[in-house]
A and B are shown apart, each in its own frame.
Chain A
Amino acid sequence: MANNLISDAVLVKNYIEGDESALSILIERHQSKIYGFIYTKIQDRDICDDVFQDTFIKVIKTLKSKSYNEEGKFLPWVMRIAHNLIIDYFRKSKKMPMQRDNEEYSVFSYLTDTNLNVEDQIILDQVEYDLSRLIDELPDDQKEVLQMRIYQDLSFKEIADATGVSINTALGRMRYALMNLRKVIEKNQIILTN
């Protein structure tokens, strides 16, 4: 009860001089009013707690840096800080409005999972397996160029250097490789789509 007798101004002075318990008394004394004030503006308890916390962080910094001058009263000053932080909060939330799902709008119509589902993955594996078997059937020189181009991602110049032929020959082999693949696929009516 003795705490109630000490005025805010004395508590603030004591706090500035290093008495940490003075802050605890100040918070206990005014928390309900300050928190209630924040809650009337922001009806979300978690955000209210954040704003309340930020308010007192500002209070602590101002008092500890000794830039507080006791012109008015402590509580109106803290209320003003809280008020400014509430305005900041609404400014920020206006820039980044929170979207909630409703019947017309769903966040999942904008965000998609690009990973394949199990079925698609099985089909893709099958297609790749079929294709590798088809490539194995190609003549060696065509197969070599195609594998270097597609699987090793080499340029035709690099392929030409590696295989000891001209670039035009490498290009020609690639062309024949693709033509032969198409022929086999059409002949056997293989479906290579996912």
Chain B
Amino acid sequence: MAKLYSKQKLAGQSMLPKKETIAFILNYSKALSIKKIGKMSFEIIAN
């Protein structure tokens, strides 16, 4: 019997970024704090 090629989900792969990318963004967000002093702003990354 002919194979049902249409069942293969070739086009159905979800377009999502890598888990590592998301984890990096969330960690970056947690680490970053921006302080404004007068007209200047300082970015502080907690390591």
Say yes or no: B30 contacts A20, CB within 8 Å. Answer: yes
Query: What's the Cα separation between A23 and B24 when bound, in Å?
Result: 12
Which single residue of chain A is at the shortest CB-CB distance from B33? A64
Interface size class of A (residues with CB under 8 A): 20 to 34
In the complex, whether A32 has a CB less than 8 A from a CB of chain B is: yes
Given contacts A32-B16, A35-B16, A36-B15, are A27 and B25 in contact (CB under 8 A)?
yes
| B21 and A49 form a contact (CB under 8 A) | yes
B18 part of interface (Cβ distance < 8 Å): yes
Across the interface, A61 reaches (CB within 8 A) one of B15, B16, B43, namely B43
8 A Cβ contacts from B14-28 to A: 14-18, 21-22, 24-26, 28
Taking the nearest CB of chain A, how far is it from the CB of B40, in angstroms? Answer: 11
Q: How far is the CA of A64 from the CA of B17 in the complex (A)?
A: 23
Q: In this assembly, does B47 line the interface, its C-beta being within 8 Å of a C-beta of chain A? A: no
**A3 → B minimal CB distance (Å):** 15
Known contacts A32-B15, A35-B16; decide if A65 and B34 are in contact (CB<8 Å): yes
Against B, the Cβ 8 Å flags (1 = close, 0 = not) of A66-94 are 10000000000000000000000000000
Interface residues of B toward A: which range?
10 to 19
Q: Is the C-beta of A56 less than 8 angstroms from some C-beta in chain B?
A: yes
| A31-B33 contact, Cβ under 8 Å, with A39-B15, A49-B17, A61-B43 | no
| Inter-chain contacts of B34 with A (CB < 8 A) | 61, 64-65
Question: How far apart sit A52 and B43, CA to CA, in the bound complex (Å)?
Answer: 21
**CA–CA, A52 and B41, complex, Å:** 25
CB distance from B18 to the nearest CB of A (A): 5
Q: Which of A41-60 contact B (CB under 8 A)?
A: 48-49, 52-53, 56-57, 60
Q: Is A14 an interface residue (CB 8 A)?
A: no
Residues on B with beta carbons closer than 8 Å to the beta carbon of A169: none
Decide if B36 is an interface residue (CB 8 Å cutoff).
Answer: yes
A147 at interface, CB cutoff 8 A: no
Chain B residues within 8 Å of A56, by CB: 25
Please state if B15 and A35 are interface contacts (CB–CB under 8 Å): yes
List chain B positions with a Cβ less than 8 A from chain A: 14-18, 21-22, 24-26, 28-30, 32-34, 36, 41, 43
Interface contacts beyond A60-B25, A60-B28: sample of 8 additional A-B pairs, CB < 8 Å, sorted by A:
A27-B25, A31-B17, A31-B22, A32-B16, A35-B16, A48-B17, A53-B24, A61-B34
